Amino acid sequence: MFRKLLFPLSLIYGLGAILNRKLYELGIRKSYKLPLPVISVGNLSVGGTGKTPTVISIAKYFQNKNRKVLILSRGYKRKSKEILLCNKNMPVELCGDEPKLMTYKGLDVVVSSDRVRGFEFAKDKVNPDIVILDDGYQHHSIKKDINILLIDATKPFWEDSLLPSGNLREPKSFFRYGDCFIIVRFDRVKNKDRFMKKLKTFNKPFFIAEEQFGELYNENDKIDFSSLKGKSVIVMAGIGNNQQFFDKIQEFSLKYGFYIENFLDFPDHYDYKDFTPDVNKTYITTEKDIVKLNFPNIYAVNYSFDFDTEFYRYLEELNGGEKSV
């Protein structure tokens, strides 16, 4: 109810978002065309909609096709302001938790608030064939060949409103700037027919992301969920949507027969500097969190998205090959 009272501020916020787009459309602010294909992954909402696993899935696909991929990220909440080509041995404070996770997956990531400068800094070091803009939907200084809009099916943008009364970064109508939609968490939608009917009214190609949960791991060990049978664990997270992670681990506790003693709910991008685990407890957390938690009794869940071949064919042959990547 309190957020609804902030609706007048949302109108002002929305005007700012419209003006920002218009300045680029009119050429008052410069948008640069890079000399190779650019795929942007982003959303209209704040909070976790699966941008990082989507970026990783796309990058790994092209990597497996022997294509060199460079990911451009701003490195949200990192402590350093310099342009950096991240590596897995770099402190998370310098590159940010999401870029650090991407390096764990064997990907090349440059962090910079100015993504054009970031590309110039890294292009000769990586020699990429393809660029992926991480969280790029509201980033306009680089022209995009494919602009992907992620939609959380449990919180679709058409049922939301602008910040601060809602969670939208831009007006709902800005869906039109997306070339295609990726739908995440579709399996958790109760009325799937109604959702699909509404989705089709936007006349955009769309693809369903299938969540994959693998083994538990940390820097020194890997275990299966089945090894937790009869044991007590603590579940912790500091991501954009902690509750959905908690709900999924709750499902696994019923499936594999372990007991959840407690849920530790931290803010997104939490740094864990003051966190010390109980050495006699076992903890389960997210991959984004584990890069900041080097303890032998804290495990992350290996998490990824799967897409059918139609999605990757779309990336390779958008508009009959006119935007081929």
Taking the whole predicted model, whether its pTM rises above 0.85 is answered as: yes
51-64 vs 309-316: helix crossing angle, rounded to 10: 70
Same domain, 60 and 143: yes
Question: Both 193 and 254 in a single domain?
Answer: no
For residue 277, is the peptide bond before it cis, meaning its omega torsion is within 30 degrees of 0?
no
Q: Taking a C-beta distance cutoff of 8 angstroms, is the pair 149, 44 a contact? A: yes
CA-based nearest residue to 311, from 325, 298, 300, 297: 325
Q: Domain with 13 in it: what CATH number?
A: 3.40.50
DSSP run (H or E) holding 217: strand 210-217
Q: 15: domain range?
A: 3-67+129-209+307-321
Instruction: Using DSSP, state whether 278 is helix, strand or coil.
Output: coil
Q: How far apart are CA 282 and CA 221, in angstroms?
A: 13
Q: pLDDT tens for the chain, 325 residues: list them.
A: 677 778 889 999 999 999 999 999 999 999 999 999 999 999 999 877 899 999 999 999 999 999 999 999 999 889 889 999 999 999 999 999 999 999 999 999 999 999 999 999 999 999 999 999 999 999 999 999 999 999 999 999 999 999 999 999 999 999 999 999 999 999 999 999 999 999 999 999 999 999 999 999 999 999 999 999 999 999 999 998 899 999 999 999 999 999 999 999 999 999 999 999 999 999 999 999 999 999 999 999 999 999 999 999 999 875 444 444 4
Report yes or no on 106 lying in a domain. Answer: no
Question: In this structure, what are the phi and psi dihedrals at residue 69, rounded to the nearest 5 degrees?
Answer: -115, 135
Is 231 in the same domain as 300? yes
**Same domain, residue pair 50 and 181:** yes
